[in-house]
Structure 1
Amino acid sequence: MFTGIITAIGTIREVRGTSDIHAIITCPFDPAGIAIGASIANSGVCLTVVDKGGTAGDAWFAVDISGETIARSVPGRWSAGTQVNLEPALKLGDELGGHIVTGHVDGVGHVVLSQMVGDSLRIDIAAPADLAPYIAAKGSITVDGVSLTVNAIADQDDGSCHFSLNIIPHTAHVTTIGTLKAGDAVNLEIDVLARYLKRMQALKG
């Protein structure tokens, strides 16, 4: 379980394999604080640590990524040199600073607008039709692992939707969100509460 509050940006250093891959990710963590078998969210994808090394502030950890995970996340994301937003799993007693995030990607969205509005960054993202019913203005959504609040939503004729986000300078600086531009793909995870409410509504219907 996660909160969508990013603690560091990591970089994929090495990737081996094709259908299922083994990746090594560098990060500014202390390897003494990374446990084998622990969960770390990588741009919204919950992955299990299978190896680790390095020194404090210059660490690395290794993960195995299944073909199913690759298919559900942003195409081409798992390649050497790519930066990823990192968040270790929530510990009992930790502050829930964002919202409840599972680390399971529900779909891929695409940036349709990225522009500065004052000191903040406005980003509009197109979400596929199967996710549109779960996204609401002032609701929570996870974009590349970052907990964000939906400012506004515009339904499209094909059943998809465009939703707007306001990215404050701090968030733009400490995550990869600040580098997004029109055309970029992003991992999306809908609010877990919205998922359950939608399921309950469907059963009542």
Structure 2
Amino acid sequence: MFTGIIQTVGTVSRITPSQAGSRLRIDCPLLEPSRWQEGDSVAVAGCCLTALALDAQGFSADLSAETLERTSLGALESGDPVNLEPALAVGDRLGGHLVSGHIDGLAEVVSIHPSGESRIARLRVPETLARFIAEKGSVTLDGVSLTVNAVDGLEFEVNLIPHTLAVTTLGRLARGARVNLEVDQLARYIERLLGASQ
């Protein structure tokens, strides 16, 4: 379980193809990964992955064929930055919202424009996911917990404050970019319960 509060931006240092998918190597010395346990969960651009081959400089993680197909991780190249958040420990602060790290789909940036020192990003989602997005509800984009400002059909807007722009990869967003989207868990469970009762 995660919160959507990014702890650092790591760097992809190596991508190795494998029979089952590929293996990522991510450098993130600020997180001191040598203190983790092999097998710990870490959210990479919002995707829950298993940390392997830990050392003081970083870690590796295997990407399955499904992860490569359903997320933006298959488009990563060596040198690319990625948002990182280790899994919550008991007693940790819950600063964002409850995030599973299970990506629902990709959202595409339709537009992005300044609003004072912030930026307003407008994104389009697949029709199957639009019903889960509500004004003042929560979404996770590339692992970042955000509040939805407005909803219009298949599109919604979020406000990216200066801090978010400075400490996450969302400061690099441009029109046409595709980002990992996780909708609010509560919305998914409510829809499932309502469907089962009908």
TM-score when normalising by structure 2? 0.95
Give the share of equivalent positions with the same residue, in percent: 45
In structure 2, C-alpha distance between the alignment counterparts of 1:15 and 1:90, rounded to whole Å: 27
Deviations 1:83-132 (A, max 9, x none): 11000000111111000000000000100011111111100010110100
In structure 1, C-alpha distance between the alignment counterparts of 2:137 and 2:112, rounded to whole Å: 20
Give the alignment partner of residue 52 of structure 2, picking from 50, 53, 61.
50
Are 2:4 and 1:4 aligned?
A: yes
Are 2:173 and 1:175 aligned?
A: no
Query: What residue is the counterpart of 2:190 in the other structure?
Result: 197
In structure 2, C-alpha distance between the alignment counterparts of 1:21 and 1:139, rounded to whole Å: 34
C-alpha RMSD over aligned residues: 1.2
- Give secondary structure in 1 for the equivalent of 2:72: coil
Query: What residue is the counterpart of 1:97 in the other structure?
Result: 95
Are 2:18 and 1:25 aligned?
A: no
Contact kept in structure 1, 2:67 and 2:73, CA below 8 Å: no
Query: What residue is the counterpart of 1:158 in the other structure?
Result: none
Higher mean C-alpha displacement, 5-14 vs 32-41? 32-41
Q: Which amino acid is 1:98 matched to?
A: G
Q: Which amino acid is 1:8 matched to?
A: T
Q: Which amino acid is 2:3 matched to?
A: T
Deviations 1:58-82 (A, max 9, x none): x110111111111110264332122
In structure 2, C-alpha distance between the alignment counterparts of 1:105 and 1:17, rounded to whole Å: 22
In structure 2, C-alpha distance between the alignment counterparts of 1:75 and 1:185, rounded to whole Å: 11
4+ long deviations beyond 6 Å: none
Q: For structure 2, which runs of at least 5 residues remain unmatched after alignment?
A: none
Contact kept in structure 1, 2:107 and 2:123, CA below 8 Å: yes
Q: Which amino acid is 1:152 matched to?
A: A
Once the 2 structures are TM-superposed, how far is the Cα of residue 33 of structure 1 from its aligned partner? 2.2
Once the 2 structures are TM-superposed, how far is the Cα of residue 34 of structure 1 from its aligned partner? 2.2
- Give secondary structure in 2 for the equivalent of 1:52: coil
Q: For structure 1, which runs of at least 5 residues remain unmatched after alignment?
A: 156-160
Once the 2 structures are TM-superposed, how far is the Cα of residue 202 of structure 1 from its aligned partner? 1.4
Once the 2 structures are TM-superposed, how far is the Cα of residue 23 of structure 1 from its aligned partner? 1.1
- Give secondary structure in 1 for the equivalent of 2:91: coil
The count of residues paired between Structure 1 and Structure 2 equals: 196
TM-score when normalising by structure 1? 0.92
Pair 75,183 (structure 1): closer, same or farther in 2 beyond 3 Å: farther
Task: Map 1:119-198 to 2 at 5 A.
Answer: 119-155=117-153, 161-198=154-191
